Structure 1
Amino acid sequence: MLAWLMPEQASVQAPRVDAIFLALTAISGAIVLLVVGLVVAFSIRFRRGSKANRDALPSLVAREFEIGWTAATLFVFVFIFWWAASAEIRAYVAPKDAIEVHVVAKQWMWKTQSSNGAREINELHVPVGAPVRLILTSQDVIHSFYVPAFRLKRDALPGQQTETWFKATKTGTFHLLCTEYCGTDHARMLGRIVVMEPEDYARWLSAQPEGDDLAHAGERLFAERGCAGCHAPGSGVHAPGLAGLWGREIPLAGGRTATVDGAYVRDSILQPKRDVAAGYEPIMPSYDGLLSDGEIQELTAYIRALGAGPRASRTPGRPPLSSRVPGAARDRSPAMVPGAPVDDGPAPAGAATRP
């Protein structure tokens, strides 16, 4: 519909966005026509020298009309707000079986890494019909991840993580742009999303150079940076263990609570004294400036893996993370091919409270 006016629709979100846009355009056009029509009609009927009676309408009718017009306008506004807000909120909540992709923006490129370790620059390969969850951050300034055919736009912010998701409905290659002015080569910050049939995607994935997936890379980094000296089971330092921690609501000093998710883990690494877990001293040093955004993503993936359920998939040929971290939960690597089972399961009882 209106192919000459609207870009190609290639995701499940695109029809919703287009419907809102067209509805707003139609309502705005109707209001403009009504106002212009009344102005022209009144200008002719009540022009200078006209014999039209300016007092023909009683004041009661004019007041009722004004009240009805105001109420109708308010109703339309509330309806449009609800409609658009509900569509926007759905863009934040990815399906549980979504493929997880980490996106790091920097001047002037997009770096993507899937949970199985596949890395790309200015490209992202995904299977058609599978939900894809994007976790975005920036290494320098604000960028904006924009795919016109998907009607997808989300800012990548320095020092923060933002999320969005999409499900492609067509195979093909689609433009990836940055729509936030980010410097002199902003216009050249281009990329592409390659949507493939699931079988072709599986073959492409198997042909990628082997490398650590995010969780195993995070496990190695966890040991190299000395995190295991405090957070590993049996450590002499009074610090929380990490097994089974992901997704739990934990108490903080001062009576507040927090949910252990990506944003919380990031804050705990960069600003450890801001939200101190109840029962622990604020002794953890800040790693601000010592870890890159990619390394923080790897550590986050490792902590998430320690809280996975019993039936989560595992990278073939690798021992589970739990076999090298006593007391940890089972390994987790989100399914990269549609249909693979993923189950986060319940968190173990009595697990520690904070990374």
Structure 2
Amino acid sequence: MNWFMNWLLPKGTSTVAAEVDALLQFIIVVSIILFIIVVGGTALFVVLYRKKKQEQVDFTKDLSHNTKLEIIWTVIPLILVTIVFFWGFKSYMKIRLAPGDAIEIKVTAQKWFWQFDYPDGVSNTNELVVPAGVPVKLVMSSQDVIHSFFVPNFRVKMDVLPNRYTVAWFEATENGVYDLFCAEYCGTGHSKMLGKVRVVSEPEYAAWLEENSSFGEGMSLAELGAKLYKSKACVTCHSVDGSPLVGPTFKGVFGHTVKLNDGSSVKADENYLRESILKPQAKVVEGFQPVMPTYQSILKPREVDALIEYIKSLGE
């Protein structure tokens, strides 16, 4: 069955993946066997006991019940369900209870990106960088609606809820880059709420933390803004080539008059851009929905300035 599991699921690269796969394989094998017995038996009886031409039909006498048969079809499913329950509960508790030495990373989900905050003060968007062979504990919450953190290769999936914390953990076994999905429909940009989990060696992880603790140093504001445009997921909803996406394009917006949904107009100056980043619902552009989240707790003051400078550099 290994070939089937490899075809059905991506390669398991966490310490819990093999256990999850074993339970799924057991359920699949039992389901196939029961399917063959029920459907195969039905087909066999149809063939053996079909009415033939000119054959006299003799009806069997009425049967109220068959004790032996009823015990069999009650006890066997009960045994199978009990096995699946205790096996699944054991795996669930293993996934839920993180080791005491795990690295704790705060995960914040909102429309439509993932924010990762590390103990050393490093912050990253849509890319979770972790060391291989080290347990990682994720403390997760949502800023808006229900999301779901799902990494198929790790067999880790956990709902991320507003106004409360949920916890999941994993220990990656192989270096590589793995897909991260939101597995709960969360609005028009749900399909674009994609991320990556990058698993590196411990020395590479330490170097990455050191490098990102000084992110933006030595760059001009516009250069930093160009990097933030991608790293903070602005690219998900705002283009820089003039085409509208979920939100209006950044190209040529600065210095122009913008029409709003309430029928008023406003000049797109620095104050307007700043307010749109920190309080996006205050002035919604005509033709677009008020779905942009606030970046108030995500961007530092210099990063807000950098994004404004980058937008200005795209032309008036």
Normalised to the residue count of structure 1, the TM-score between the two structures is: 0.56
Tell me whether 1:9 sits opposite 2:40 in the alignment.
no
Task: Tell me if structure 1 keeps the 8 A contact 2:130–2:200.
Answer: yes
Distance 1:170 1:51, change over 3 A: farther
Tell me whether 1:209 sits opposite 2:252 in the alignment.
no
What's the CA shift for 1:9?
A: 1.0
CA deviation vs aligned residue, 1:272-307 (integer Å, no higher than 9, x gap): xxxxxxxxxxxxxxxxxxxx888xxxxxxxxxxxxx
Q: Which residue of 2 aligns with 1:117?
A: 121
What's the CA shift for 1:65?
A: 2.7
CA deviation vs aligned residue, 1:156-195 (integer Å, no higher than 9, x gap): 1000100010000010000111011111111000110010
Distance 1:195 1:52, change over 3 A: farther
CA deviation vs aligned residue, 1:194-242 (integer Å, no higher than 9, x gap): 100111111212222259xxxxxxxxxxxxxxxxxxxxxxxxxxxxxxx
Q: Which residue of 2 aligns with 1:233?
A: none
Q: Which residue of 1 aligns with 2:166?
A: 162
Distance 1:16 1:293, change over 3 A: farther
Tell me whether 1:153 sits opposite 2:157 in the alignment.
yes
Task: Tell me if structure 2 keeps the 8 A contact 1:139–1:293.
Answer: no
Q: Which residue of 2 aligns with 1:21?
A: 24
CA distance in 1, matches of 2:17, 2:124: 25
Which residue identity lines up with residue 197 of structure 1 in the other structure?
Answer: S
CA distance in 2, matches of 1:161, 1:206: 28
Q: Which residue of 2 aligns with 1:99?
A: 103
Q: Which residue of 2 aligns with 1:48?
A: 51
CA deviation vs aligned residue, 1:252-274 (integer Å, no higher than 9, x gap): xxxxxxxxxxxxxxxxxxxxxxx
Q: Which residue of 2 aligns with 1:75?
A: 79
Task: Tell me if structure 2 keeps the 8 A contact 1:172–1:195.
Answer: yes
Secondary structure at 1:100 match in 2: strand
Tell me whether 1:183 sits opposite 2:190 in the alignment.
no
Bigger share in helix: 2
Secondary structure at 1:37 match in 2: helix
Stretches of structure 2 that go unaligned for 5 or more consecutive residues are 216-295, 299-316
CA distance in 2, matches of 1:54, 1:126: 70
Aligned-pair RMSD on alpha carbons?
2.3
Q: Which residue of 2 aligns with 1:331?
A: none
Distance 1:52 1:206, change over 3 A: farther
CA deviation vs aligned residue, 1:2-37 (integer Å, no higher than 9, x gap): 223321111111111111111111111111110011
Tell me whether 1:138 sits opposite 2:142 in the alignment.
yes
What's the CA shift for 1:40?
A: 1.2
CA distance in 2, matches of 1:143, 1:116: 26
Identity of aligned residues (%): 38
Tell me whether 1:174 sits opposite 2:178 in the alignment.
yes
Task: Tell me if structure 2 keeps the 8 A contact 1:104–1:293.
Answer: no
Task: Tell me if structure 2 keeps the 8 A contact 1:147–1:177.
Answer: yes
What's the CA shift for 1:54?
A: 7.3
Task: Tell me if structure 1 keeps the 8 A contact 2:129–2:198.
Answer: yes
Secondary structure at 2:33 match in 1: helix
Which residue identity lines up with residue 190 of structure 1 in the other structure?
Answer: L
What's the CA shift for 1:116?
A: 1.4
Which residue identity lines up with residue 170 of structure 2 in the other structure?
Answer: F
Which residue identity lines up with residue 202 of structure 1 in the other structure?
Answer: A
Picking from 66, 71, 75, the partner of 2:70 is 66
Which residue identity lines up with residue 111 of structure 2 in the other structure?
Answer: Q
CA distance in 1, matches of 2:165, 2:297: 10
Stretches of structure 1 that go unaligned for 5 or more consecutive residues are 212-291, 295-355
Task: Tell me if structure 1 keeps the 8 A contact 2:127–2:198.
Answer: yes
Q: Which residue of 2 aligns with 1:243?
A: none
Q: Which residue of 1 aligns with 2:248?
A: none
What's the CA shift for 1:68?
A: 2.2
Tell me whether 1:33 sits opposite 2:36 in the alignment.
yes
Task: Tell me if structure 2 keeps the 8 A contact 1:107–1:140.
Answer: yes
Distance 1:52 1:156, change over 3 A: same
Which residue identity lines up with residue 178 of structure 2 in the other structure?
Answer: F
Q: Which residue of 2 aligns with 1:90?
A: 94
Normalised to the residue count of structure 2, the TM-score between the two structures is: 0.63
